[in-house]
Amino acid sequence: MKFFGFIAVVVVGTLLLVATGDFPGWGNPHSPASEGQVSGFYIEQTVNVTKVPNMVTAVLADFRGYDTMFETVVIFIAGIGIIAVLRTFGDTAGKASDYPEPDEGSDIIVRSTCHLMVPLIQLFALYVVAHGHHSPGGGFQGGVMLGASYILLALACGLPVAKRRMGERKAIVLAATGIIIYAGWGVACLFFGGNFLDYASLDPVLPGDKEMARSHSMLVVEIGVAFTVTAIMFAIYSNLATRGRLEKGL
């Protein structure tokens, strides 16, 4: 098996390296990808058609918003998939000795620091979500931070403390709500006569002109993404850390 694997790796690796022969070099500004019409359109026109200075956010949430919606669905699938595979509903109470007895939180210094840190982390996460238009950031990044703040709470103060704030049911509802916001916003565009996810058609109900409608809509879908990512990150952690029992954990 090892020999066979080595041969396969060498063959594939050689194949991949042969292909690089006619690739443009590192950082070449005249490569087709950098010089192409699509990239040029994104760089020069994004600000005109969406008024968003961060092109990555605009491409993510608007030009390729359809991709991003399914990306959020991927996260959602991972979350409910893990729950579906791992979760045990109450019938394993007898053999809970796989992990050491949970201490209700670690020592007081850790807990106090955590209590100070969590609000700041969450505040910064909200800033990252909301400020994705102007600086690096957006729903995924902010959502992961929000999720991480709950994970920190669970690590420092024990899972029950974190579960009071983000229970399983709440996490599932929040995750589904996120996608409902995203996809629902896209469907709303249909009712205003546009194509799916055509945010410009929403300008009668949003402040500003068509371009601002796109900008505002991007914020809405980013918030939807942040909901889903927050809930699923914590759900993944809590299920993996407790083998799906959600009682005691690391």
Question: Does residue 230 contact residue 147 with C-beta atoms inside 8 Å?
Answer: yes
- Choice between 112 and 135, CB closer to other proteins: 135
CA–CA separation, 95 vs 73, rounded Å? 34
- Choice between 45 and 112, CB closer to other proteins: 45
Q: Which of 193, 189, 176, 250 is nearest to 218 (CA)?
A: 189
Angle between the N-to-C axes of helices 210-241 and 139-157, in degrees from 0 to 180, rounded to the nearest 10: 30
Q: Which of 128, 140, 216, 248 binds other proteins (CB under 8 A)?
A: 140
Q: Does 45 bind other proteins (CB under 8 A)?
A: yes
Q: Does 40 bind other proteins (CB under 8 A)?
A: yes
The DSSP symbol for 60 reads I
Question: Does residue 185 contact residue 69 with C-beta atoms inside 8 Å?
Answer: no
Q: Does 123 bind other proteins (CB under 8 A)?
A: no
Work out how close the CB of 50 gets to other proteins at its nearest, in angstroms, rounded to a whole number: 10
CA–CA separation, 237 vs 38, rounded Å? 39
Work out how close the CB of 112 gets to other proteins at its nearest, in angstroms, rounded to a whole number: 31
Q: Which of 167, 194, 206, 247 binds other proteins (CB under 8 A)?
A: 194
Question: Does residue 242 contact residue 249 with C-beta atoms inside 8 Å?
Answer: yes
Binding residue count for other proteins, defined by CB under 8 A: 102
Residue 72 token pair: 């959020």
Q: Which of residues 77-116 bind other proteins (CB under 8 A)?
A: 77-78, 80-87, 89
Stretch that binds other proteins, among 100-108, 111-119, 148-156, 184-192 (CB under 8 A): 184-192
CA dihedral (142, 143, 149, 150) in degrees, to 10, reads: 170
- Choice between 18 and 108, CB closer to other proteins: 18
Work out how close the CB of 49 gets to other proteins at its nearest, in angstroms, rounded to a whole number: 9
Q: Does 243 bind other proteins (CB under 8 A)?
A: yes
